[in-house]
Structure 1
């Protein structure tokens, strides 16, 4: 089983026992404010997410890991590599964290571990991220990790009738290793 550890965190595949805490995190409208969907509203959504996110060693470039506090093993978020393109050796980074853990550097710590896995173990050449430009917290995390804003797509998403733009970020393996 894939497991990544940092100073304060353990990242590992989600299990069905994580459905309730995952729902608690992603049903929060503030956590979901900049996502491409509405806040979750049922345990079924969390269960389906976990089932769809199951780690498959035959397809290791689709990696969805729960983020757990090392001390308590409490689930506080998720971090993932998805939308991979194996021939081009690229994937997209995504993350979400419980509001109670914001501002502590945890998601940057988790994402750094997943980036290391992506570049070193999966031999990715490029990792991308797409965020709402108003999401300054995620932008700061990405910039601290070495990502550069490479593009801007006006009115890319319409979520619950609200139109939002996208900022595109990228990080090359050669810049990560430097």
Structure 2
């Protein structure tokens, strides 16, 4: 049967059903595309933001540790020194936990390269931290020893900047 010989009702039904099928097809395509955009958005907001939060928190832990090490050097109170040692231990532990979480989230080559730089800087800084803690924990630290500690830590500000 040709289109010319069809009844008007059948022509209208055919026309509306064609339009309806096109609308359903466009809706299906739109839903698929929106779900793709949503997954991309979710990756940016949930994964990349988490990486930034962890990096800033790691930087804060380094800063708090350096302040506590400074406080060790200028204090002579055993109770205060012990409280600062607890803070240092806590912040270094927090730093390690956050670093391990960050390692799990990094998948790009640039991110892995940056993590290797951070770890190589850690290998330089952790012995200095430990030396500073040992010297700062002594009850009779001289000014010359304090200057030696602070001079060793000048390079550590570069490490914190890289994080």
Q: TM-score, normalization: structure 1?
A: 0.25
More strand per residue:
1
Bigger RCO of structures 1 and 2 (CA < 8 A, at least 6 apart): 2
More helix per residue:
2
Q: TM-score, normalization: structure 2?
A: 0.27
The structure with more radius of gyration? 2
